[in-house]
Amino acid sequence: MKRLNVIFAAVMAASLLAFSGCTISNNKSENGKDNVDIKTPFGSMKVDQGVDARDTGLPLYAGAKPYEKQKDGHNAANVNISSSFFGLKVVAAEYSTPDAPGKVHDFYQNALKSFGKVVECKGEYTGFKYDKGNADQDTPVDCSDEHGNSADEIQLKVGTRHHQRVVSVKPDGTGTRFALVYVNTRGEKESGS
């Protein structure tokens, strides 16, 4: 999942910048997933691989199982970066089900409605754009984020540019592979909230 690779790269870059005067703790949760906490004089960062679908604010589709990756085995991450300059929380988890993509699409279309107007985009979701210069953080989500040309993948989005939920649905053999993503960002102006 490209999103998780981008998240892990961002985590590593942030940690390299903040190594002076920092503490790092790494432990495994009960289910064997890594948890890393980094605290520096500039802020803190926490990465947790033990993600529950509910961490995204969305229910898990009945019968879905965590998607098993071939290479790195990572199918989920909960990343929190906090400083006086900005904050970023990204929760992403990937699942699979033997059910058809249309059933998964309809389930999440209904689940997302409780958060506002749902926008449907075509193509692979390759990430959100955090525009620090955008004064209006309440701009509704749209399809202007980066999307690949995979015609059989659909993104369902709801929320604002800086506080959104995304569900990516695509066929996977005879079933469906889908990802649940929650993104919440804040800039320097919002640091008190």
The residues facing 156 across adjacent strands are 120, 167
Distance of CA 73 to the CA centre of its chain: 17
For position 50, what pLDDT does the model report?
73
pLDDT, tens only, 127-164: 555 555 554 667 898 887 655 566 688 999 999 988 99
For position 7, what pLDDT does the model report?
55
pLDDT, tens only, 5-47: 545 555 555 555 554 556 565 666 555 556 555 555 566 676 7
Give the residue, 8 or 177, on which the prediction is more confident: 177
pLDDT, tens only, 85-112: 778 888 889 999 999 999 999 999 999 9
Confidence of residue 192 (pLDDT cuts 50, 70, 90): very low
Dihedral Cα 77, 88, 163, 170, nearest 10 deg: -30
Inter-residue contact 93 to 76 (CB < 8 Å): yes
Which pTM was predicted? 0.72
How many CA atoms lie less than 13 Å away from 132 in the CB half-sphere? Answer: 8
Inter-residue contact 141 to 158 (CB < 8 Å): yes
Mean pLDDT, range 56-71, rounded to an integer: 86
Joined together, the tokens standing for residue 43 give 């802020």
Confidence of residue 190 (pLDDT cuts 50, 70, 90): very low
Inter-residue contact 181 to 168 (CB < 8 Å): yes
For position 43, what pLDDT does the model report?
67
Task: Round to whole Å and give the CA distance between 145 and 159.
Answer: 14
Inter-residue contact 178 to 106 (CB < 8 Å): no
Inter-residue contact 162 to 136 (CB < 8 Å): no
Inter-residue contact 158 to 115 (CB < 8 Å): yes
For position 72, what pLDDT does the model report?
55
The CA–CA distances, whole Å, from 51 to 66, 88, 106, 117, 180 equal 10, 16, 23, 26, 11
For the chain, which residues make up each domain, given as ranges?
A: 2-190
Confidence of residue 80 (pLDDT cuts 50, 70, 90): confident
Looking at the predicted structure, is the pLDDT value of residue 179 above 70? yes
